[in-house]
Amino acid sequence: MTHETLVDLAWDILGDNKDSPVYFSAADMYKYFNNAARRMVEETTCLQKKDGTTTLVAGTAEYTLPSGARRVNEVALDDERIVAKTTKQIALFDADWREATNSTPILYYLDGLNSKIGLYPPPDAGAAADTLDIFYDAWPTEVDATSEYYEVPEWASYGLICGVLEQAFRSNTRLRNMAASMVYGMLFQHYISRLKMRVNGKLSRTWLFYGGGDVYDSVQDGRLPDTIG
């Protein structure tokens, strides 16, 4: 279901006019939908992606994480998994780890702001030619008037409407209705709970994600279903 259809449904339920809105502008609706999508993705970890576009440079240890990365789950170099460690753990067995000789990285670490990934030891010329794959939990891409889909499973997109109505009825307008906001909030949480169970239950079924980028389809951590297509 396209985001335009979802926005139109939410406007209809609110009794507002999308062509000349009285209470909720298009900007309001996009904000509410983006908030709901962000919350759904964060609470369920349903959106996982793979990035293999980082260009390694011999002797360079740190690289910027993919845009939208929320949490790194796994890293592989030339299809070989490398282990996650903190900088303190690395320093315990190599006090001069910042000056390590270039070689094939066996460990990775994240900076304190979770914006960069570091490789230990730094790659040499041979390792720099290999592909670095980063598998991560992602934030959903924010939508606007030019977007087409939300990055959640299609069936769960209906739940986003409940998340929007929860916010809309709580807003400071003449339509403010805290009881309605609470009801839609419970319905939204119900969708989140259902999606969370499907993510953690590794159910044997096909899911449909919309949006660009590769979706992480590994099941080795035991949380994702066998097929994400």
Give the C-alpha separation, 189 to 79, whole Å. 38
Secondary structure (3-state) at 110: strand
Q: What is the CA radius of gyration of the chain?
A: 21
User: Has residue 186 got a pLDDT over 80?
Assistant: yes
Domain end point (choices 87, 108, 138):
138
Q: Compare 218 and 144 and report the one with higher pLDDT.
A: 144
Question: Do residues 58 and 105 both lie within one domain?
Answer: yes
Instruction: Name beta bridge partners: 123.
Output: 103
Tell which residue, 149, 137, 160, has the closest CA to residue 40: 160
Question: Do residues 123 and 149 both lie within one domain?
Answer: no
DSSP code per residue over 136-175: EEEPPPPP-TT----SS-GGGHHHHHHHHHHHHTTSSSTT
Q: What is the pLDDT of residue 211?
A: 40
The domain containing residue 168 runs over which residues?
Answer: 3-46+141-228
Reported as a single tens digit per residue, the pLDDT across 1-51 is 677 888 889 999 999 888 888 999 989 999 999 999 999 999 998 888 999
Identify the band that residue 204 occupies on the pLDDT scale cut at 50, 70 and 90.
very low
* Widest distance between CA atoms in the chain: 66
Q: What is the pLDDT of residue 226?
A: 41
Domain end point (choices 119, 138, 157):
138
Question: Do residues 38 and 115 both lie within one domain?
Answer: no
Identity of the amino acid at 2: T
The stretch 168-185 carries a mean pLDDT of 95
**Number of other CB atoms surrounding residue 166 within 10 Å:** 23
Question: Do residues 35 and 71 both lie within one domain?
Answer: no
Q: Compare 148 and 206 and report the one with higher pLDDT.
A: 148
Question: Do residues 108 and 65 both lie within one domain?
Answer: yes
The stretch 128-156 carries a mean pLDDT of 87
What is the SS3 assignment for 21-89? CCCCCHHHHHHHHHHHHHHHHHHHCCCEEEEEEECCCCCCCEEECCCCEEEEEEEEECCEEEEECCHHH
Question: Do residues 66 and 89 both lie within one domain?
Answer: yes
List b or e across 122-137, with b for residues whose CB sees 16 or more CB atoms inside 10 angstroms. bbbeebbebebbbbbb
Q: What is the pLDDT of residue 202?
A: 56
The stretch 194-208 carries a mean pLDDT of 65
Q: Compare 203 and 197 and report the one with higher pLDDT.
A: 197
Question: Do residues 158 and 189 both lie within one domain?
Answer: yes
Give the C-alpha separation, 166 to 161, whole Å. 9
Question: Do residues 145 and 101 both lie within one domain?
Answer: no
Question: Do residues 52 and 160 both lie within one domain?
Answer: no
Q: What is the pLDDT of residue 220?
A: 35
Question: Do residues 190 and 130 both lie within one domain?
Answer: no
Question: Do residues 204 and 155 both lie within one domain?
Answer: yes
Opening angle at CA 178, ends 158 and 143, nearest 5: 35
Q: How many domains does the chain have?
A: 2
Tell which residue, 221, 217, 168, has the closest CA to residue 10: 168
Give the C-alpha separation, 181 to 166, whole Å. 4
Q: What is the pLDDT of residue 183?
A: 96
Q: Compare 213 and 131 and report the one with higher pLDDT.
A: 131
This prediction's pTM: 0.77
Domain end point (choices 72, 105, 138):
138
Opening angle at CA 144, ends 49 and 64, nearest 5: 35
Question: Do residues 97 and 24 both lie within one domain?
Answer: no
